[in-house]
Every structure is written in C-alpha cells, then in structure tokens.
A and B are shown apart, each in its own frame.
Chain A
Amino acid sequence: MNDSDIVILGAGIHPFGRFDASAQDLGAHAARAALADAGLAWSDIEAAYLSRMYLPATSGARILRRLGGTDIPIVDVEAACASGGAALRQAVLAIRSQDVETVLVLGVEKMPRGFMDPSMIYSPWQIRMGMSMNPAYWSMRAMRHMHDYGTTQSQIARVAWKNHRNSVHNPNAMYRKEFSMEEILASPLVCDPIRRLEICAPNDGAAALVVTTGRRARQLGGNPVTIAACIHTIARYSADFRCPADSMSATIENTGPTALTARKAYETAAIGPDDIDCFEVQDTDAFCEIEIYEEIGLCGLGQGGPLVEAGHTDIGGRYPVNMSGGLISKGEPVGASHLGQVVELVGQLRGQAGARQVADARTAMAHVLGAGGNCAVTILRH
C-alpha cells in the first residue's frame, strides 16, 4: 500500500434477507459496523454516498441521521444493479480530488417480495404486452448461448449447485441450504431454461465501506485493502439486450458491458484475470454467471459451461467464483448488492472468511450488471 492509494479501511454488513426492520435500521447497522471495523467515529467522515434504487429521495441523509447530527454532503446514487459500484466510484473520485480524505459508502435496499416493480424500468406498452418479466430477457440469452455453443441445462444447474453449497457457510446469505443437482433440475421453470433454484430474489439488506487514503490508513493502523480499480460503464449501442430493451441491431454488435468494464478495470489495475484469486459476480440467474466467466476472460467464448462443470470455479478451483453463495443465495437488495460483494472480498483478502476462505487470496474482483446495461467492476488488492 502506498500513501497515494485509495483503500477500504472498514467494511460492515447487515445480513441480506427479509426483515421487519426499516431501511434506516438496516443502513445504520451496516454503517456502524463499517466505522467500528475502521476504528473511526461518524464525526471522522467528511462525505457520504448512498447506493439505492427503490428508496425515496434523500434516503442517505435520513438513514445517516441515525448516527448523529452532521453537515457533510450526503448524496444518493442510482445505477440499477450497479448502484454500489457507481457510489464507490464517487467516493474514489472525491478522495482523489483531495477535496475530502475519508468517505462512507453505504448501500441499502428494502424491496417487496416477488418480481420487481416493472414501472421502474419498462414503458407502459411493454408492460401491457407482457414484456415486463426480467428473467425472460436473461433466459433468451441462455437459449441463444445453448444454441450457439451447446451449453447444457446441467451446466447451468451446476452454477446454482455451487453457489447454494457455498452459501451454507455465509451467515449473511438469505438462503443457506445445499441442493442436489436433481433437486435443482426438478425445480419449476420460471422462464425456459431458467428454474426457480437458479434465480435470485429481490430482498432487504445493507452494506457499508469506509474509504480513505493509504496515508491516513497508515497513520490509523488497522487492516486496509487497496482499491486497484473501480469502473462503471453502461452498455454501448446494441451491445446487450437485457431489460428493458425492445429491440437490438442485427448489423452492429458492440463489446458487451461486462467485457468492456472488466477490460477497463484490468487496464487500470495493470493485471489480468489470471492474477485474480477470487471473484464475486452478478449471478442474477445461473446462466448469467457462465456468460460472465467468458466475458471477464476466465475462459474462451462458449467454454463457460465446461469451466463450471470441471469445478474450476469452486472454492479450491483455479478461479473461485461467488464464495458468498452469490445473489442466488444471498438475494439481491439492489443498492446493497455490489457493496455486499466488496465486504465479502475484504473478508477473503484479510483471511477472515472462515469455511468459505480461498487460500492465500491477495487479489479479488467484484462485478455487477443490470438494467439499462449498467455494469460495475471493482478490483481489490491486499
């Protein structure tokens, strides 16, 4: 760690699940845990960013008021499933500008059960015609991949099997139950070929980070983790047909958002996929994780299915992915999702991940992707 590095000094989380507690309760819990982990007080924080999608205006100020009176800037940030990456990037930029040195990044969400409210992202005509089912868009990608590369339902189920198995050791996950391949493949189809045990659910949760400079971390002591890259992009024209796309070009095919964002993150960190010891990625559905393997360079195009089938993305494999159990097990409280991944990876890099620990993890990547083609990738080093 250099003095000029930007580091995570504290990380805190409220478990993901469904709770009676308010968004204020969840957020304050995670913020206090991150401050305690950093060994800092609320009065040491000079700016704060709240990542959220569903919470109303000025939620950041309303949640953080629970920690005591303040006059620092508190800004709410939204970029769909990549909101946490966008908020963390704001903290990095604010510190790099030398306007502030110590920043709190908080992600909070409290979401109704069931499919997400379609009016958030779809036009009324799409909803009237039945085109408002997010998993339909993911499933159409899976169908095309199976057609082009021979990816199988069993390979897709293998992702869900791995992530459910990992979740058993994660007290912050909503579902902590192992399922057999047979149980996964017998679970009902949601949108063909994706099944109920292969899909993530919206829920409640919060995660928080205290971000500062290497210089300040060295003065304070503690156990800092360096942010080697934090990139946010949106999908280029016709690069992606995730919701709420109503069409795509048949003549122009731009680099997809995950491949583009990962490439920029690798360039910024001056490393490649083989230098990274563990990954947390956007498994909104089990197929999506297979596609991400290919786009972040863990294998060639069409080789994602064989990669997971061979166990290479298990804990103990060459490229451990979603040690936390992934979104399939944790659920996806959208605003808290990316910061939750980062909290998991901070624990991995500090060697505090218990039964789901990746041996000798020094470098880690977190990836999120969602509506509007929003994508964020954070690379951490310890």
Chain B
Amino acid sequence: MQAESTAASAVAPINDGMVRSLDPAHGQIELLGSRCATCGEVSLGTNAVCLNCGGDNIESIALGSEGTLWTFTVVRHRPPGNYLGPDPFEPFGVGLVELPSGLRVMTPLDGDISTFRIGDKVRLAPWLLREGEDRRWLAFRFTAAGGSAA
C-alpha cells in the first residue's frame, strides 16, 4: 500500500492506477482506464488483462471527465466500514455515470441530493479524503456540470 508517508502533505491515489492529478494542487484530475486492442472493451483502472475477452494487449487511456448520469440513488445511512466522507454523516448521492469512452463508472455524486435526475450532465471532480492524522487520499466523484463545487 502507498501513503504510509509521514509527510502530512503526501496525497496518494485512492486506488493505484485509477485516478491521477493533473496539477500539483489536485484541482484537476483524470480517471484512468484500459482499452483492449483485441475486443475494444474499455475498463476502469489500469488492468493487465481485459475483463471481457481475457486478452493482454491493453492500452492505457484517460476515460474523460464529462458524462451523463445513467442511474443514481441517495445513501441515507452511513455506509458500513471505513467510510471517510463527512463526519457527522450527511446523506449523499451514488450514481452510475456513462462516459463517452464506453464505460459506466460507479461513483459518489457531489451536490444537493434532491436535484439528481437520470440524464443529467455531470463532470469529474477531485475529492480529497483524510484518514487519521497523516493519511490523505485523492479520490473522485462527479458533480452537476455547472453546479457548485463543495
């Protein structure tokens, strides 16, 4: 695992090979994916083998930051386990966002829980999470395109 660094400023990706900063302040990020040269399928994260056909001729790609909300829900209870979102808990959206690269990504949604609609245009946004005193993670979520950031 990464992020055992003692430097308080060190920020590690929430999952290796899935999300990357585009600037030192983590103001902009991109989601990373893999495209199979054999069957053309795109998958989330950096994978050595295609999850569809098992092929190993894989190209790393950026998945794009603009998408459409394909479905969603509102999580009304604190999720079980080591959830690092707001404490005290606040209900939040979770959605499946369709990206132009041909993938739907499961993601937290930032914004007013009463406003989400299937078909909404949404945009990738960085989400910095703190775990204990010195662990910081670069995570991601999607927010209404044109909506206000947290």
Contact = CB atoms under 8 A, between A and B. Distances in A.
Interface of A: 114-119, 122-125, 127-133, 136, 139-141, 143-144, 147, 188-193, 237-238, 241, 245-252
B70 A144 contact: yes
A192 B83 contact: no
13 contacts: A116-B80, A118-B81, A133-B79, A136-B75, A140-B71, A144-B118, A188-B76, A192-B73, A238-B52, A241-B106, A246-B105, A249-B52, A250-B70
A131 B81 contact: no
B11 interface: no
A129 B108 contact: yes
Contact of A128 (B73, B102, B105, B131): B131
B44 interface: yes
Q: Is the interface of B mostly helix, strand, loop or mixed?
A: strand
Interface in B87-144: 92, 94-96, 98-99, 102-106, 108, 118, 127, 129, 131, 137, 139, 141
B44 A122 contact: no
Contacts of B75: 130, 133, 136, 191
Interface residues of B, number: 45
Contact of A127 (B79, B94, B96, B141): B79
B73 A136 contact: yes
Contacts of A193: 73
Given A140-B94, A188-B76, 5 more contacts: A127-B79, A128-B82, A132-B79, A132-B81, A250-B99
Contacts of B71: 140-141, 143-144, 147
A192 B102 contact: no
Contacts of B62: none
Given A246-B44, A249-B103, A192 B76 contact: yes
Contact of B80 (A132, A139, A192): A132
A250 B79 contact: no
Contacts of A251: 40-41, 102
B14 interface: yes
Interface of B: 14-15, 18, 40-45, 51-52, 70-77, 79-85, 92, 94-96, 98-99, 102-106, 108, 118, 127, 129, 131, 137, 139, 141
B106 to A, nearest CB: 5
Contacts of A246: 44-45, 105-106
A250 B104 contact: yes
A128 B139 contact: yes
The 5 closest A-B pairs by CB, nearest first: A139-B73, A125-B15, A144-B71, A118-B81, A247-B44
Nearest to A237: B52
Given A141-B71, A189-B74, A130 B80 contact: no
A229 B82 CA distance: 42
Given A117-B81, A131-B94, A251-B102, A190 B76 contact: yes
A190 B78 CA distance: 10
Contacts of A147: 71, 118
Contacts of B82: 124, 127-128
Contact of B95 (A118, A122, A124, A140): A140
A123 B14 CA distance: 11
Contacts of A238: 52
Nearest to A195: B76
A133 B77 contact: yes
